[in-house]
Structure 1
Amino acid sequence: MDFEQAKRRVAELTAALEYHSNRYYVLDDPEIDDEEYDRMMHELIALEEQYPELHAENSPTSRVGGQALNQFESVVHTVQMGSLQDVFSEEEIEEFDRRVRETVPDPVYVVEPKIDGLSVSLEYRDGVFVRGSTRGDGLVGEDVTANLRTVRSIPLKLTDAPAFIEVRGEVYMPRRSFDELVKAQEEREEKPFKNPRNAAAGSLRQKNPKVTATRKLDIFVFNLQQLEGRALTGHRESLDYMKSLGFHVIPGYQCYREIGDVIARIREIGEHRDGYGYEIDGAVVKVDDFAQRELLGATAKYPKWAVAFKYPPEEKASKLLSIEINVGRTGVLTPTALFEPITLAGTTVSRATLHNQDFIDEKGIAVGDTILVRKAGEIIPEVRAVVEHGGGEVYRIPSVCPACGSHTVREEDAAAVVCVNPDCPAQLLRNLIHFASRDAMDIEGLGPAVIEALVEHDLVHSAADLYDLKAEQIAALDRMGEKSAANLIAALEKSKANDLSRLVFAFGIKNIGQKAAKLLARRFGSMDGLIGASREEISAIDGMGDLMAQYVRDFFDQPQSLHLIERLKAAGLNMQAEETEPEDARLAGLTFVLTGTLSTMTRSEVQAIIEKLGGKTSSSISKKTSYLLAGEDAGSKLTKAQSLDVPILTEAEFLEMTK
């Protein structure tokens, strides 16, 4: 395909993808299946890679994320993104109505659900999405445009658009997406997000938009901030108008003249809130007419024309029937309470985590007790307290692993009880999922479902078995086929060239994350060097410590670990580090903080120089900071460095230090 043909095809694909994205994510009325949509997206990605000049800033391919960001730039909001006064009773709603009627006659109120998410601003010029920012403190937020482009319900281009429009919306994580994320975090034995709002906020502020793209965020637009070229008179009219432009507008908004009808609608939203596919924590009541809003004005903190009614959290008592023990990827035994089913926040729950032995001891939990369970805007129920003791002894986590029969140990200075058998079958599935994950060996196509099928068909018993798989074995699995099998074999082959640090992280050594794995690979250079390293040599690495060093030695002292490594070597996996300890380590032990604008280098270039010479960078100033490198327009970090007597370097002085 020549350039002109590619140009026409890119335009066709862009129009089709924008249309079908709106049908699926905004109108909830898809016309094609996911496979067809993905096929068009992959074709567009391939064409833009072949002809980079055809890649537009708002191309649908931006939905999958772009380059990682060094930082978020500040955005000053032209129109303040204020907050609303919270009220907690129907009497307060009636009092709000009385105050409004003292100023304006016959107000009309718009009532809408209050989405529990993260407030953002979206700006469009001539119909094109040009900037998105967080609320921040209401006056200044952060530019998260690249991350917001990955939210598929945000239109990248508007139809019949005004010259300029700014809207405000709430980015949220649907309950289904949150469930999937928490499940994946638990399988990797990461600390899961507590609730969808925290998950949405953490996902939107990822420095890497590709990570944000995997989190399946959504948005509801609920307010018009600025508009050029058109005059609107009321809130409902503005919502209707934004919907006509293609925005995913807040659902279920209705107008009422009587406060009694407003209260009835608030009750109705509360009674049905658990049937929504997203979390809400209240209902918002707003005066509809914009002119009346001007008359009502605002206090120093809140507008006088709106309030947010907050629903109370739910707690219920239930009898604890038994406690189930699950064995995690690193061998940690996690207790789960099984209790008589109760309805909380509209869903039936009968399970809640008990965390660890310390948590059980603190609350004195025994089987047969009546426990208080809470689900306050959170998907995961929690045991709050024991309401009535049933007379049994406080539960003890067993000293024998329920999956393999090996003895368990409670780690020194830690709450976790652990099975120390690396061949424990309960750990196999989670170990393999972690091994293949994006931050570890990054084996594309080897997701949890495929790994589970491989284990169920007795095809893999360790990570080394993955590299012995044949295409015909994979193709015989459900939902795979020859093409998927060939792609997976190719992905396995590609993973063999990964840096040593990825393999070390993939082993899942307790407390050894990506950063620690990089430190180990860089310090010892090869797998053999790492295997032969003493605990003292490992703990001497800046950023490691005695406990982490012991976990590393415990892993490499296991005969099963050495056998696994030998098999991986035989399979052709790389056992060398791409980056080793620098010959010139003049900045070893020094920590730098960067601020302001540099004239000859980018911040990433400066960071690379510091790390190449053995130093570290940090984002915050403290007494432990060795130097602040200050460029032009240095702000609060410079002031803080001066107050802490931290040495300050100019760009020229830094270049002289590192030349």
Structure 2
Amino acid sequence: MTEDAPADNPYVREPDTEFAPTGKLSAEDAREQAEQLREAIRYHDYRYYVENDPVISDRAYDELFERLEELEGAFDLDTEGSPTARVGGEPMDELESVDLVVPLLSIDSSGEADDVRAFDDRVRRELDDGAAVDYVCEPKFDGLSIEIVYVEGRYERAATRGDGETGDDVTENVRTIASVPQRLRGDPPGVLVVRGEIHMSLSGFQAHNRERVEQGKEPFANPRNAAAGSLRQLDPSVTAERPLDCFFYDVLWVEEEPAPVDEIGPEDADAEEAASVGGLALDGLDTHWDEHRQLPEWGLQVNDRHELVEGVDHAIAFRNDLQADRDDLDYEIDGTVLKVNDREQCRQLGTTSRHYRWAYAYKFPARTEETRIADIVVQVGRTGRLTPVALLDPVDVGGVTVSRASLHNQSEIAELGVDVGDIVTVQRAGDVIPYVAEVVEDNSEGHFELPDECPVCGSDVEADGPLRFCTGGLSCPAQLKRSVEHYAGDSGLDIEGLGEEAADQLVEAGLIEDSIADLYEIDAEELADLEGWGEKSAEKLREEIEGSKSPSLGSFLSALGIPEVGPTMAADLAAAFGSVDALLDADEEEIREVEGFGPTVAGHVAEFFANERNRRVIERLREAGVEPEPPESTTAGDELDGLTFVFTGALSVTRDEAQSLVEAHGANATSSVSSNTDYLVAGDDPGRTKREDAETEEVPIVDEGEFEELLADHDIEYPPE
């Protein structure tokens, strides 16, 4: 046992996890045991994250942690500062913005050694002595920079880097990360502000993505996206379930006496100097290397792949060695950061408006790997587009185990000459998206050909240049989930509560089996029985679906998902033909007469409405009560010219009627809130996302009564007759 282990604590080494029932403990015994468990768990966190030398098994640790949770719950013990705070607190309405203690700038970068030498030349020239400069070399983590504040050794606040001066308050989310201690070790100062990098280990990322795929969710593209999405959750309990980690690497600020968080930081006169070195020079911490040695003493995890070197040649050699070892690391890095070691020299070098002039990132090139194509499968998307996907013998690319890669289209397949059994190079576009770059060993004859029939529904496949499309239309099962999502989305009928996850769930549960027309036959009781649903949410979705039965003709046409026809072209079609029946009877020549419709798009439209399956779906929608409203032939006036409205929730009229009214008087009506929105009109049970977006963009939110008054001020009658 090391000297810094808690004395006389039975849960430090070889702990006995056969605990007595809580009902047999007195309140005093429970408090004493809880304190011993908290002390031991903090010690085990230190040994695991900082020393990388745990003294108990993961299973024993979990049993200690579960016992502490049990005691705190059974005896209503105060959990402030307890390791159990990591399980997550109450959901938040939004992430607040906070001012950072010290401005956090970015680091200039390049993948060329000549640029790194030019950086070193400038540093030595500006220091005016020409001597070799000592650099601290660190991995450049592919994560999120974070500022964390401790007061009297207690965790107080965490904020993202944001714009460098203001970031998101993610205190409760970061609290859930086990490698971020709730209390510091040793003798920390009254105030300590440190900088670190939140990331997701590669092993944790792969395990979490497997879980997502098993649950029918879209996997994260890379560990950085996974970490960013996890850190910005409004529900900390969701963050607590994600395998996040943190490395610390900078001391930003120290004060000997404790102070409230909002009073911590440099005075205005010191702010520029503090920014120039990432914090002021501190007693005993005159170099960046001093920081690396001190941080673990406070219990803060420091990455072990860092080194103090003399001169740029050694820094470049460090980077090359790190690149060679990159595949063996359990975290994603994309280069090496060089920092001038001496903080007084950093102060002399200062900053630009965006970058530290004493730090530079020497980046790695994009990864390429070779593997065998085990099979090629064809996916069918919402529009019927066939996308070939190569199934690979698993290969590590960019720190991620890749087992599939895009082949894009038939022309690219032919150009590559790729087929099953070939050995290929797999590369990550932007170091993120895997694709087949070239064939390095041809083990097949010819190349893969996309099928002539849809692999899902058996309909004919038609070519459109290099692309191939299933002609099965809306009833093709493979297109069903994405068709439902599109029909209900911003480009369709804007049915709130029916996004990607809900669409997948409804199809998988069999509530939607044939086409989007099944939406209007969903039973609220059956919906309420699904996981994550209840009577209120199910009824609200049913009301949203019912409220979509009188859409504008343009919205309806856009919702159908006609290839290459988005909201604008759908509105043009609606204005030109005026009804669904007219489009069902139109031929390609008539459609080509609409301005902007060339032969390709006109052909898609004509084929779509000639398709018997599509016609049956449209017939079913109309039988369910969906009656698209024809566009207004003329505008009523321009009283609302220049204004943009967004509607959410249930109004006394349909949402389409409200949109048509404002559009008839010169306004724009859009489906999503942006900085260009003038008013969000909120009816009963408004959508949470639109309200949050309106608050973020500082868009006025008005209820239906206020909307009516606004229109009355412009002599517009509401509700419309």
What is the TM-score of this pair, normalised by structure 1?
0.64
Which residue is 2:44 aligned to? 20
Of the candidates 529, 537, 540, which is equivalent to residue 522 of structure 1?
540
1:86 aligns with 2:104: no
Which residue is 2:310 aligned to? 257
Of the candidates 663, 683, 690, which is equivalent to residue 618 of structure 1?
690
Which residue is 2:338 aligned to? 285
Query: What is the CA-CA distance between 1:46 and the residue it aligns to?
Result: 2.9
Which residue is 1:99 aligned to? 122
User: Does the C-alpha gap of structure 1 residues 316 and 414 become closer, same or farther in structure 2, counting only changes over 3 Å?
Assistant: farther
CA–CA distance in 2 between the matches of 1:245 and 1:88? 35
Which residue is 1:70 aligned to? 93
Of the candidates 226, 240, 255, which is equivalent to residue 228 of structure 1?
255
The one-letter amino acid paired with 1:337 is A
User: Does the C-alpha gap of structure 1 residues 125 and 347 become closer, same or farther in structure 2, counting only changes over 3 Å?
Assistant: closer
**Structure 2 unmatched runs, 5+:** 1-24, 257-281, 461-468, 482-500, 503-507, 511-523, 562-612, 621-648, 659-670, 711-721
Of the candidates 208, 211, 227, which is equivalent to residue 184 of structure 1?
211
Are the aligned partners of 2:453 and 2:470 in contact in 1 as well (CA < 8 Å)?
Answer: no
Are the aligned partners of 1:110 and 1:286 in contact in 2 as well (CA < 8 Å)?
Answer: yes
Which residue is 2:172 aligned to? 146
Alignment of 1:284-323 (within 5 A): 284-315=337-368, 321=373, 323=375
**Structure 1 unmatched runs, 5+:** 423-438, 441-461, 465-497, 507-513, 558-582, 596-606, 622-627, 630-635, 642-646
Query: What is the CA-CA distance between 1:278 and the residue it aligns to?
Result: 0.5
Which residue is 2:239 aligned to? 212
User: Does the C-alpha gap of structure 1 residues 278 and 523 become closer, same or farther in structure 2, counting only changes over 3 Å?
Assistant: closer
CA–CA distance in 2 between the matches of 1:227 and 1:316? 46
CA–CA distance in 1 between the matches of 2:337 and 2:672? 46
Identity %: 31
Query: What is the CA-CA distance between 1:311 and the residue it aligns to?
Result: 0.8
The one-letter amino acid paired with 2:183 is K
CA–CA distance in 2 between the matches of 1:264 and 1:218? 28
Which residue is 1:114 aligned to? 140
CA–CA distance in 2 between the matches of 1:651 and 1:406? 46
State the number of aligned residues: 507
1:237 aligns with 2:237: no
User: Does the C-alpha gap of structure 1 residues 335 and 594 become closer, same or farther in structure 2, counting only changes over 3 Å?
Assistant: closer
Are the aligned partners of 2:41 and 2:61 in contact in 1 as well (CA < 8 Å)?
Answer: yes
Q: CA RMSD of the aligned region, Å?
A: 5.1
Query: What is the CA-CA distance between 1:373 and the residue it aligns to?
Result: 2.0
CA–CA distance in 1 between the matches of 2:650 and 2:320? 68
Alignment of 1:555-570 (within 5 A): none
CA–CA distance in 1 between the matches of 2:77 and 2:386? 54
User: Does the C-alpha gap of structure 1 residues 376 and 534 become closer, same or farther in structure 2, counting only changes over 3 Å?
Assistant: closer
SS in 1 for 2:198: strand
1:354 aligns with 2:426: no
Of the candidates 325, 335, 343, which is equivalent to residue 272 of structure 1?
325
CA–CA distance in 2 between the matches of 1:376 and 1:338? 18
Query: What is the CA-CA distance between 1:31 and the residue it aligns to?
Result: 2.2
User: Does the C-alpha gap of structure 1 residues 411 and 184 become closer, same or farther in structure 2, counting only changes over 3 Å?
Assistant: farther
The one-letter amino acid paired with 1:354 is S
The one-letter amino acid paired with 2:86 is R
CA–CA distance in 2 between the matches of 1:156 and 1:180? 26
Of the candidates 207, 221, 237, which is equivalent to residue 194 of structure 1?
221
CA–CA distance in 1 between the matches of 2:401 and 2:208? 21
Which residue is 1:158 aligned to? 184
CA–CA distance in 2 between the matches of 1:158 and 1:499? 52
Query: What is the CA-CA distance between 1:224 and the residue it aligns to?
Result: 1.1
CA–CA distance in 2 between the matches of 1:416 and 1:152? 48
Query: What is the CA-CA distance between 1:543 and the residue it aligns to?
Result: 12
Which residue is 2:592 aligned to? none
Are the aligned partners of 2:98 and 2:167 in contact in 1 as well (CA < 8 Å)?
Answer: yes
Query: What is the CA-CA distance between 1:325 and the residue it aligns to?
Result: 3.5
CA–CA distance in 2 between the matches of 1:41 and 1:538? 55
Are the aligned partners of 1:136 and 1:142 in contact in 2 as well (CA < 8 Å)?
Answer: yes
CA–CA distance in 1 between the matches of 2:182 and 2:396? 41
User: Does the C-alpha gap of structure 1 residues 298 and 504 become closer, same or farther in structure 2, counting only changes over 3 Å?
Assistant: same
User: Does the C-alpha gap of structure 1 residues 348 and 68 become closer, same or farther in structure 2, counting only changes over 3 Å?
Assistant: closer
Are the aligned partners of 1:372 and 1:386 in contact in 2 as well (CA < 8 Å)?
Answer: yes
Query: What is the CA-CA distance between 1:38 and the residue it aligns to?
Result: 2.2
Query: What is the CA-CA distance between 1:35 and the residue it aligns to?
Result: 2.8
What is the TM-score of this pair, normalised by structure 2?
0.59
SS in 2 for 1:618: helix
CA–CA distance in 1 between the matches of 2:474 and 2:654? 35
Structure with greater Cα Rg: 2
CA–CA distance in 2 between the matches of 1:142 and 1:376? 29
SS in 1 for 2:330: coil
Which residue is 2:276 aligned to? none
User: Does the C-alpha gap of structure 1 residues 620 and 207 become closer, same or farther in structure 2, counting only changes over 3 Å?
Assistant: closer
User: Does the C-alpha gap of structure 1 residues 53 and 347 become closer, same or farther in structure 2, counting only changes over 3 Å?
Assistant: closer
Are the aligned partners of 2:222 and 2:400 in contact in 1 as well (CA < 8 Å)?
Answer: no
User: Does the C-alpha gap of structure 1 residues 291 and 519 become closer, same or farther in structure 2, counting only changes over 3 Å?
Assistant: same
1:392 aligns with 2:446: yes
The one-letter amino acid paired with 2:142 is D
Which residue is 2:70 aligned to? 46
Alignment of 1:123-142 (within 5 A): 123-142=149-168
User: Does the C-alpha gap of structure 1 residues 535 and 187 become closer, same or farther in structure 2, counting only changes over 3 Å?
Assistant: farther
Query: What is the CA-CA distance between 1:44 and the residue it aligns to?
Result: 2.4
The one-letter amino acid paired with 1:123 is V
Are the aligned partners of 1:285 and 1:306 in contact in 2 as well (CA < 8 Å)?
Answer: yes
User: Does the C-alpha gap of structure 1 residues 314 and 651 become closer, same or farther in structure 2, counting only changes over 3 Å?
Assistant: same
Query: What is the CA-CA distance between 1:308 and the residue it aligns to?
Result: 0.6
Query: What is the CA-CA distance between 1:268 and the residue it aligns to?
Result: 0.5
SS in 1 for 2:325: helix
Query: What is the CA-CA distance between 1:25 and the residue it aligns to?
Result: 3.0
CA–CA distance in 1 between the matches of 2:319 and 2:39? 40
Are the aligned partners of 1:397 and 1:417 in contact in 2 as well (CA < 8 Å)?
Answer: no
Query: What is the CA-CA distance between 1:360 and the residue it aligns to?
Result: 6.5
SS in 2 for 1:114: strand
CA–CA distance in 2 between the matches of 1:365 and 1:248? 49
The one-letter amino acid paired with 2:190 is A
More off after superposition, 372-381 vs 405-414: 405-414
User: Does the C-alpha gap of structure 1 residues 4 and 316 become closer, same or farther in structure 2, counting only changes over 3 Å?
Assistant: closer
The one-letter amino acid paired with 1:46 is E
User: Does the C-alpha gap of structure 1 residues 119 and 416 become closer, same or farther in structure 2, counting only changes over 3 Å?
Assistant: farther
Are the aligned partners of 1:374 and 1:384 in contact in 2 as well (CA < 8 Å)?
Answer: yes
Deviation digits for residues 399-446 of structure 1 (CA, Å, limit 9, x no counterpart): 586xxx985897669899856999xxxxxxxxxxxxxxxx99xxxxxx
User: Does the C-alpha gap of structure 1 residues 31 and 588 become closer, same or farther in structure 2, counting only changes over 3 Å?
Assistant: farther
User: Does the C-alpha gap of structure 1 residues 406 and 618 become closer, same or farther in structure 2, counting only changes over 3 Å?
Assistant: closer
Query: What is the CA-CA distance between 1:61 and the residue it aligns to?
Result: 1.3
Deviation digits for residues 221-252 of structure 1 (CA, Å, limit 9, x no counterpart): 11111112361211011111011111111322
CA–CA distance in 2 between the matches of 1:518 and 1:543? 27
The one-letter amino acid paired with 1:139 is E
The one-letter amino acid paired with 1:133 is A
Are the aligned partners of 2:410 and 2:450 in contact in 1 as well (CA < 8 Å)?
Answer: no
